[in-house]
Amino acid sequence: MYDEQNLLLGSKKEIDEAKQGEVLFYDQPQTNGRKFYIESYGCAMNFSDSEIVASILADEGYGPTREMESADLILVNTCSIREKAEETVRNRLKVFNQLKYKKPDLQIGVLGCMAERLKAKLMEQEKLVDLVVGPDAYRDLPNLLAKVDEGEKGINVLLSREETYADISPLRLESNGIVGFISIMRGCDNMCSFCVVPFTRGRERSRDTYSIIAEATDLYQRGFRDITLLGQNVDSYKWQSPDGAESVNFAELLDRVAAIHPDLRIRFSTSHPKDITDEVLHTMARHENICKYIHLPVQSGNSRILQLMNRTYDREWYMNRVDAIYRILPDCAISSDMIAGFCSETEEEHEDTLSMIQYAKYSMSYMFMYSERPGTPAAKKFVDDVPEEVKKRRLQEIVDAQMNMSLKVNLQDVGKVMKVLIEGDSKRSDQEFKGRTSQNKMVNFPKDGNCQPSQYVHVKITDASSGSLRGIIIHTPETETH
């Protein structure tokens, strides 16, 4: 689920930092003259949270700007999952502070996971920010901004057991009006030994089912055709009505969202292997518009390392889940996360991760070197004893194995006819469209005068690389055009 610092096969090796600051607004709120600029780093949840923040600011009269030089307020929504992510944010904060010399009234704030973890250092020691807001405190932004206006520091990093922002309609940032995200739950209870998320985002809590349905329905009515349900672990979603009369699990939520309209594609991320039940898989099989793609992080292919990571499953158990996915959903694509060089990992154990790529036939993966995060159980209990050069070499071997597998899996699509949702112009050429298949694979194909973005078309795949597919339109279904 991580979109920064990792090698992302199927898209690009690292997120283009310039794009981080390119803020496009699907909605256009009324303003009082004050402008805000926001950059988001890390997982899709952070980008979704930025849309919640934008909505709160819009209610206070702030308007969006794509130019940080014209902003009165600059915010960075941060990630603490990797050390490099924090370094990137610090470098950006230094750039923003250079602007402050020219514009003393400029306010600079840090949001999200890094805000919670490094609040004192960012505000008091390094004096890089005026505002520090944790992921559960965004409603307090108006009060905190008022404090900053009065010359005080604004800080709130308190975690909540209830906050889901269910009643806030996100302001769609960087949106093409076709693809959108809906946060369905917050926090994580899994306590993987390498991960800071339970400490920076708190315990799991699920959003009201009816608010999710309402948001998804609204998006469909506004022309969106592809939505992703987001959570640190979506499969553990479980909502109960206040009176206890109704309880909804993730499979049931999927069923209800898919029923909104057959032209609305449903995706979800991320799935913890322990919670991807057969009930979820059978629900996916029943609905054509629930995309046949599952992000199922393995982290390591070795049972001893998985135990050290506190992943709560072993190699065989994970392989059983892979078998179940392919048995119930033969056309499903699976992607993964993998960590190279976790504490005490041997060469033989590293080989188990390489062999898992072959077994699971991942269409793509997010791959990292292990990066010790302060405060995590791994940092407290284990020694980060795999040399840096060994980590780099193992990571490269994982990357090479995954690229070969991605190419092999994609080549199997050549000759097939696939249903593709047109998202817009290809990055390569404005003479081509791009769109994704149900399996989350990007397809580039020549434009057809009868087709336009938000429309479904049937594309025959003619070529493939490790990162994408190419094809030609052979049929335009008789679907509504928006």
pLDDT digits (tens, 9 = 90+) for 349-379: 999 999 999 999 999 999 999 999 888 999 9
Contact of 302 with 315, CB cutoff 8 Å: yes
Beta strand 185-186 with 205-206 is antiparallel
> What are the two backbone dihedrals, phi and then psi, of residue 266, each rounded to the nearest 5 degrees?
-120, 125
> Taking each helix axis from N to C terminus, what angle separates 315-328 and 347-360, rounded to the nearest 10 degrees?
10
Q: Is residue 130 over pLDDT 50?
A: yes
- Distance (Å, whole) CA 53 – CA 57: 6
Q: What is the pLDDT of the chain when averaged over all its residues?
A: 88
Q: What percent of the chain has pLDDT over 70?
A: 90
Beta strand 442-446 with 469-475 is parallel
Contact of 228 with 184, CB cutoff 8 Å: no
Token digits of residue 282: 């059978």
- In this structure, the number of other CB atoms found within 10 A of the CB of residue 342 comes to 28
DSSP 123: I
Give the three-class secondary structure for 276. coil
pLDDT band at 47 (very low <50, low <70, confident <90, very high): confident
Asked if omega into 462 is within 30° of 0 (cis), the reply is no
* Helix residue spans in 76-224 (DSSP H): 83-102, 113-117, 119-120, 141-149, 197-201, 209-221
pLDDT band at 6 (very low <50, low <70, confident <90, very high): very low
Token digits of residue 92: 């950006």
Q: Is residue 3 over pLDDT 80?
A: no
- Distance (Å, whole) CA 137 – CA 173: 20
List beta partners, residue 456. Answer: 421
390 residue type, one letter: V
* Of the candidate ranges 158-167, 261-270, 346-355, the one whose mean pLDDT is the lowest: 158-167
DSSP 301: S
421 residue type, one letter: L
437-448 pLDDT, tens digit each: 999 999 999 998
Phi-psi region of 303 (alpha: psi -120 to 50; beta: other; left: phi over 0): alpha
Chain centroid to CA 289: how far? 20
Contact of 391 with 398, CB cutoff 8 Å: no
Q: Where is mean pLDDT largest: 1-5, 25-29, 369-373?
A: 369-373
* Of the candidate ranges 82-86, 211-215, 433-437, 452-456, the one whose mean pLDDT is the lowest: 82-86
List beta partners, residue 471. Answer: 461
Q: Tell me, what's the pLDDT at 11?
A: 29
Chain centroid to CA 135: how far? 15
H-helix or E-strand spanning residue 401: helix 388-411
Give the three-class secondary structure for 137. coil
DSSP 71: -
Q: Tell me, what's the pLDDT at 477?
A: 58
Whole-structure pTM value = 0.86
- Distance (Å, whole) CA 348 – CA 39: 41
* Of the candidate ranges 118-132, 228-242, 375-389, the one whose mean pLDDT is the lowest: 118-132
> What number of residues does the chain have?
482
Contact of 386 with 369, CB cutoff 8 Å: no
pLDDT band at 12 (very low <50, low <70, confident <90, very high): very low
72-129 pLDDT, tens digit each: 999 998 877 677 777 888 889 889 999 988 898 999 999 988 777 777 777 766 678 8
Domains present along the chain, CATH in parentheses: 7-156 (3.40.50.12160), 176-291 (3.30.750.210), 327-412 (3.30.750.200), 417-475 (2.40.50.140)
DSSP assignment of 51-70 equals HHHHHHHHHTT-EE-S-GGG
Q: Is residue 7 over pLDDT 60?
A: no
Place of tokens 């940092």: 379
Q: Is residue 22 over pLDDT 50?
A: no
